[in-house]
Amino acid sequence: MISPQAALIVVDVQPDFMPGGTLACHQGDAIVPGIDALLRRQAFRHVVATQDWHPREHTSFVDAHPGLAPFAQIRLYGQPQTLWPAHCVQGTPGAVLHPAIDWSPLDLILRKGSDARVDSYSGFRENVGPQGDRPDTGLAGWLRGRGVDEVFVCGLARDVCVLWTAQDAAALGFRTHLLWDLSRPVTPSGDAPTRAALDAGGIGIVDSAALAG
């Protein structure tokens, strides 16, 4: 039984993260039917979708760093930063929420990564920025204002934005679970470190079938 105080957070299910997209996740399209089915069940009182929404000249894009290759690692504001292929550029078809999902149950669409200077993996806080902090997106307050104390997280990518969202949720005091079957990594090599990080953070790993009934 899903608690009335639980919310579903669907992270970055957008065409650019699907096979054929500019930053394709491994089997990213495989989660689309399951997420659509879960939303259609209306099992959660509150449903949030995050949406990567980058300006074209975003500092995390490899194009902003001539001479470096996609997925190169640099230091940005004193922290590791992966240089990604340009993706989810504002207003482009690759940035929309996936059209094969019925998004009508959503309470909130939270766009992130819109500051060209700062990457933004988590739905709760941006990455470290020029001031050395991680600015709050307002999601935690929005959830608490609706009595939410438990979250289930799914989407893309399991080893980046989904993981960071789950870690921040747990650190902020929400009982947190990651829906493993409704998430996919950038590459499968990310799965073992992701499981270890979830375990270290006290975050549950569950499959969507456990939500039935």
Kindly give the confidence (pLDDT) of every residue in the chain, 213 residues in length, as a single tens digit, with 9 standing for 90 and above.
Answer: 799 999 999 999 999 999 999 999 999 999 999 999 999 999 999 999 999 999 999 999 999 999 999 999 999 999 999 999 999 999 999 999 999 999 999 999 999 999 999 999 999 999 999 988 999 999 999 999 999 999 999 999 999 999 999 999 999 999 999 999 999 999 998 899 999 999 999 999 999 998 875
E-strand stretches of the chain? 6-11, 46-52, 73-76, 79-82, 108-112, 150-156, 175-184, 204-206
Report H helices in 46-178.
Answer: 139-144, 161-171
Supply the DSSP string of 93-120, one letter for each residue: GGGSPPTTS--TT-SEEEEE--STT---
Does a structural domain hold residue 16? yes
CA distance 32 to 119: 25
Q: Work out the number of other CB atoms within 10 angstroms of the CB of residue 108.
A: 17
Q: Work out the number of other CB atoms within 10 angstroms of the CB of residue 19.
A: 12
Range of the domain at 19: 6-55+88-211
HSE value, Cβ hemisphere, 13 Å, CA-based, for 210: 11
Does a structural domain hold residue 198? yes
* 128 residue type, one letter: V
- Strand 150-156 and strand 175-184: the pairing is parallel
* Catalytic residue positions, numbered: 12, 112, 161
Tally of domains in the chain? 1
Does a structural domain hold residue 136? yes
Does a structural domain hold residue 83? no
Phi, psi at residue 183, to the nearest 5°? -145, 160
Does a structural domain hold residue 67? no
Asked if 161 and 184 touch (Cβ cutoff 8 Å), the reply is no
* 129 residue type, one letter: G
Does a structural domain hold residue 64? no
Please state the pTM of the whole predicted model: 0.96
Does a structural domain hold residue 22? yes
Instruction: Indicate the burial class of 66 (C-beta count within 10 angstroms; 0-12, 13-18, 19 or more).
Output: exposed
Residue 149 maps to which CATH number?
A: 3.40.50.850
Does a structural domain hold residue 75? no
